[in-house]
Amino acid sequence: MRPLTVALLAGGATLVFTVSAQAEPDGEAIYNQACMACHMTGAAGAPIKGDEAAWAPRLEQGMDTLYAHSIDGFQAMPPKGGHMGLSDEDVKAAVDFMLEPVL
């Protein structure tokens, strides 16, 4: 019975990991952890969350370009805001969160 118990526990742990890995990224939490320092203060020319005038020319380029700049870096912004452990989906969720007030 012991090998069966170990197998069931391992299977349960795998299921929990699979479910949590498929959860949608929390854009607000990612923003607070990785983006807020610059996008709350405007450091190095970063557009401030909620500033329609600052975001308008960026939005005119389209979301694909905005996501690409956020993921790959653009001008003073390093790739993924310097948080290379973030997935592309994490970065997109943070961008979406920053844009909520202006869309």
List, for residues 38-97, the tens digit of each pLDDT value. Answer: 999 999 999 999 999 999 999 999 999 999 999 999 999 999 999 999 999 999 999 999
Range of the domain at 93: 25-102
Q: How many domains does the chain have?
A: 1
- Please check whether residue 82 lies inside any domain of the structure: yes
Contact between 102 and 59 (Cβ < 8 Å): yes
- Look up the CATH number of the domain holding residue 68: 1.10.760.10
- Whole-angstrom Cα distance, residue 16 to residue 50? 36
Contact between 49 and 39 (Cβ < 8 Å): yes
- Please check whether residue 45 lies inside any domain of the structure: yes
- Please check whether residue 5 lies inside any domain of the structure: no
- Please check whether residue 11 lies inside any domain of the structure: no
Contact between 44 and 77 (Cβ < 8 Å): yes
Q: How many CB atoms lie within 10 A of CB 100?
A: 11
What pTM does this model have? 0.77
- Please check whether residue 64 lies inside any domain of the structure: yes
Contact between 50 and 97 (Cβ < 8 Å): no
- Please check whether residue 12 lies inside any domain of the structure: no
In sequence order, which residues have a C-beta less than 8 Å from that of residue 92 and are 6 or more positions away?
25, 67, 70, 71
What is the average pLDDT across 13-32? 72
- Please check whether residue 9 lies inside any domain of the structure: no
